[in-house]
A and B are shown apart, each in its own frame.
Chain A
Amino acid sequence: MSLPAVPLPTFVAVPLIAAFALPLFGKRGKSAATFLANAVTIFLLCCAVASIGRTAVYEIGRWPIPLGINLVLDGLSCLMLLAISTVSAAAMLFSTRYMERYTAKSKYLCLFMLMVAGMNGVVLSGDIFNMFVFLEIASLASYALVAFGCEHEELEAAFKYMVLGSIASTFVLFGVGLVYGNTGTLNMAYISKAISESGLNSGLTFALALFIAGFGLKAAIVPFHAWLPDAHPSAPAPISAMLSGVIIKALGIYAMSRIVFNVFGITVEVGWLLMILGILSMIIGAFMAIGQWDLKRLMAYSSISQIGYVVLGIGFGGLLIAKGAKAQWSALAILGGLFHLVNHSVYKSLLFLTSGSVEMSTGTRDMKQLGGLAEKMPVTRAAATIGSAAIAGVPPFSGFWSKLILVIAAVGSGFYWVAAIIVFVSLCTLIMYLKVQRYVFLGELPEALRETKEQKNSMLIAMVFLACLCVLMGLLLVPPLRSSVLEPAVRVITDGVSYSTNVIEMVRESVKL
């Protein structure tokens, strides 16, 4: 059985066309526009599934690289595409009903599609400046979506997010300029070739620092995290799910690991830096989250903590590679990091969707005013419980497996203190989600919430879909799936700078055909 190969520009072009076509429907064609938007996200999910295990290079406008811009699909891009399209399909399904509260739904759909197009572009682009352009498309759409409600909190959060996001983007652009000045090319494969031939000079080192700061700001790693706990809770629930689920990963983690590992090549110092940043994010995020009483704010802080796990896994793997430790442990650490990335995008978007469902039914997200919703909203409750169990790492659920892999990698390579921190933060995560269960779903039902009703139709389908994924994600570790989805992604990172030869090789082969 072979599926037809999806041309790479489809991932960017389809949502982009949809973004500009959807506002044309106007007020009357609202349901048609919603239907079309859902069709697009589901189509993209099918495309992403169809491209599992494929590697390809596409030269835009048939300009040969390094003259033209190219799109590259490899294991890591494919993993990210899967995560993005899964979460966006679920979030779009959820918005069908949730966004009826707001006016201007067609504008919302337009921004949503722009965001998806930008993210797909970032993960596919093989050209560093082109990546910056897609990064800006996705960020601008997300700034506007955070401000979508136009109330006091939303505007304040959006301004904060936008200022920090713009500073991050200028850092990245400055870095791109420095790289161009030092290597004379913008194609990632050729930059990487030039750097491995000439070595790092001071300009390139400064560019690397700018990239880490810029993408770190976008990923909300701890010293750069100030915007996230404001921006994520203020956005409408499906957008919080998208922001926490995939935006911070596609624009932050993915871009950073692509640049650090495949373009510059990992060094011991950078490995340590990423690892320390990851550990700081894990601990500070978890401590801040436990003290929160706003449901969505708690989840936003826990996103910082979970992003820390991913950065820790990737940085730890990088450190082991740079030190020349046994390849199996470094590959295992990176596998843990990437697997946690995918898991987190699924269960965190599920949790944000359940919080949206609770907020829509009760009109508040202050945990002190909630309680006893278990009987009133059984499906939401079940979904939230599965999500909480997965994020805290209770055995059969997905989060357990990725944390287990990280712990095994840490113990195996002799970093016992890292393993201890992972387990400790996991315990903190369990505490914060027990708090959610206790104050939102169990306990006394307040008088004001007697009339609460469960949500209907599409919102439930979206939550059930993600909850099922949470249960089944552990299967990704079973050999056939693992070797087609996870391992190619790990190999892209462990191969490091041989990325350039791989891409140039792939181009040569496609020319031959």
Chain B
Amino acid sequence: MLYSLCFLLFMVGLYCAVVKKNMVKIVLGILVMEYAVNLFLIMLGYRAGGVAPIVSKEDIVEAGGTLSSMFVAKSVDPLPQALVLTAIVISLGSLALMISICIRTYEKYETFDITEIRRLKG
């Protein structure tokens, strides 16, 4: 159920990026898509009533430093969170570049409407 809502958000973003005429709205659509994917990644690792995956002394069973089964069963998966952090940083970089291209385009064409920005044809 939650996953399908997440997919719906992805489709909303895709629709916005493909259909809208305003450059800024296209950028927003791409951002919504990226957020939907980030949300999806976070949900993959989520566990209802889970604990943060930080190992403390009580969680380590004596022999060989293995983790207690209680901790393994309760903690959320930390890997998707690391992935999302990386993905957020990347999308920040691409957002900055996209917005700066939008601003420079506005300076040249004095419009954000992509139907009027058509020098390239063929």
Chain A positions within 8 Å of B94 at CB level: 136, 140, 143, 162, 166, 169
Interface: B67 (CB within 8 A)? no
B122 at the interface (CB under 8 A from A): yes
- Say whether B14 faces chain A, with CB atoms less than 8 Å apart: yes
A292 to chain B, nearest CB (A): 6
**Contact size class for B?**
35 or more
CA distance A152 to B106 in the complex (A): 10
Please tell me if A167 contacts chain B, counting CB pairs below 8 Å: yes
Query: Which of A153, A177, A181 has its CB near the most chain B CB atoms (within 10 A)?
Result: A177
B76 interfacial by beta-carbon distance below 8 Å: no
Tell me if A466 counts as interface (CB < 8 A to partner B): no
B104 in contact with A155 (CB, 8 Å): yes
Docked complex Cα distance between A162 and B98 (Å): 7
Which residues on B sit within 8 Å (CB–CB) of A288?
A: 122
Q: Which residues of A contact B93 (CB under 8 A)?
A: 136, 140
Type the 1/0 row for A297-311, where 1 means its CB is closer than 8 Å to any CB of B.
100000000000000
What separation, in Å, do the CA atoms of A470 and B44 have in the docked complex? 49
Closest residue of B by beta carbon distance from A176: B83
CA distance A155 to B44 in the complex (A): 38
User: Are B26 and A170 in contact, with the CB atoms below 8 A?
Assistant: no
Q: How far is the CA of A273 from the CA of B36 in the complex (A)?
A: 28
Residue A50, interface by CB 8 Å: no
Contact residues in A for B86 (Cβ distance below 8 Å): 129, 133
Contacts known (A140-B93, A152-B119, A157-B120); A181 close to B44, Cβ less than 8 A: yes
| Complex CA–CA separation, A140 to B109 (angstroms) | 23
Q: Are B17 and A167 in contact (CB under 8 A)?
A: yes
Which of A133, A143, A169 lies in contact with B97, CB distance below 8 A? A143
Q: In the docked arrangement, what's the CA distance between A173 and B37, Å? A: 7
- B122 partner residues in chain A, CB cutoff 8 A: 229, 288, 291-292, 294, 297
A155 to B33 Cα, complex, angstroms: 23
Measured in the bound complex, the distance between the Cα atoms of B37 and A180 in whole Å is: 13
Measured between alpha carbons, how far is A162 from B87 in the docked complex, in Å? Answer: 17
CA separation between A163 and B34, bound complex, in Å?
12
Query: Do residues A129 and B30 form an inter-chain contact, with CB atoms below 8 A?
Result: no
Known: A159-B105, A162-B94, A177-B41. A170 touches B34 (CB 8 A): yes
Which of B33, B102, B119 contacts A153, CB < 8 Å?
A: B119
Could you tell me the distance in whole angstroms from the C-beta of A122 to the nearest C-beta in chain B?
Answer: 14
Selected contact of A156 from candidates B17, B26, B30, B117, CB within 8 Å = B117
When chains A and B are docked, how far (Å) is the Cα of A87 from the Cα of B37? 35
Q: Report A84-124 CB contacts with B as 1/0, cut-off 8 Å.
A: 00000000000000000000000000000000000000000
A170 touches B37 (CB 8 A): yes
The answer to whether A151 and B108 touch (CB under 8 A), given A170-B30, A180-B80, is yes
Query: Contact at A155–B105, with CB atoms within 8 Å?
Result: yes
Given contacts A167-B33, A170-B30, A170-B37, contact A152 B98 (CB under 8 A): no
A487 at interface by CB-CB < 8 Å: no
A186–B44 Cα gap in the complex (Å)?
A: 13
Are B97 and A177 closer than 8 Å at their CB atoms?
no
State A166–B14 Cα separation when bound (angstroms).
11
Residue pair B105, A230 in contact (C-beta under 8 Å): no
Whole-angstrom distance between the Cβ of B96 and the nearest chain A Cβ: 10
- Annotate A173-208 by CB proximity to B: 1 below 8 A, 0 otherwise: 110110011000010000000000000000000000
By a CB distance below 8 angstroms, the chain A residues around B104 are 147, 150, 155
Q: Which residue of A lies closest to B3 (CB)?
A: A181
Q: Is the CB of A156 within 8 A of B14?
A: no
For residue A158, CB closer than 8 A to chain B, the reply is: yes
- CA A297 to CA B121, docked complex, whole Å: 10
Quick check: B90 and A133 within 8 Å, CB to CB?
yes
Q: Restricting to B77-95, which residues have a CB under 8 Å from any CB of A?
A: 79-80, 83, 86-87, 90, 93-94
- The smallest beta-carbon distance between A185 and chain B, in angstroms, is 9
Which residues of the partner chain A approach B108 to less than 8 Å between Cβ atoms? 151-152, 155
For the complex, give the distance between the alpha carbons of A170 and B26 in Å: 14
Minimum CB–CB distance for A144 against chain B, Å: 6
Contacts of A152 in B (CB 8 A): 108-109, 119
* Given A136-B94, A155-B105, A170-B34: A163 touches B26 (CB 8 Å cut-off): yes
| Chain B min CB distance to A418 (Å) | 29
> In the complex, which residues of chain B have a beta carbon less than 8 angstroms from the beta carbon of A166?
30, 34, 94, 98
Q: CB-nearest residue of chain B relative to A130?
A: B86
A-B pairs, top 6 by smallest CB distance, nearest first, are: A155-B105, A170-B33, A230-B120, A181-B44, A136-B90, A177-B41
Q: Which residues of A are at the interface with B, using a C-beta cutoff of 8 A? A: 129, 133, 136, 140, 143-144, 147, 150-153, 155-159, 162-163, 166-167, 169-170, 173-174, 176-177, 180-181, 186, 229-230, 234, 288, 291-292, 294, 297
B residues lining the A interface (CB < 8 Å): 10, 14, 17, 23, 26-27, 30, 33-34, 37, 40-41, 44, 79-80, 83, 86-87, 90, 93-94, 97-98, 101-102, 104-105, 108-109, 114, 117-120, 122
List 22 A-B pairs, Cβ < 8 Å.
A136-B90, A140-B93, A147-B104, A150-B104, A152-B108, A153-B120, A156-B119, A156-B120, A159-B105, A163-B17, A163-B26, A166-B30, A166-B34, A166-B94, A173-B37, A173-B87, A174-B37, A177-B37, A177-B40, A180-B79, A186-B79, A234-B120
- Besides A133-B86, A180-B41, 20 other A-B contacts (C-beta < 8 A): A140-B90, A147-B101, A152-B108, A152-B109, A156-B105, A158-B101, A159-B98, A159-B105, A159-B114, A163-B27, A163-B30, A166-B34, A166-B98, A167-B17, A170-B10, A170-B33, A174-B37, A176-B83, A180-B44, A234-B120
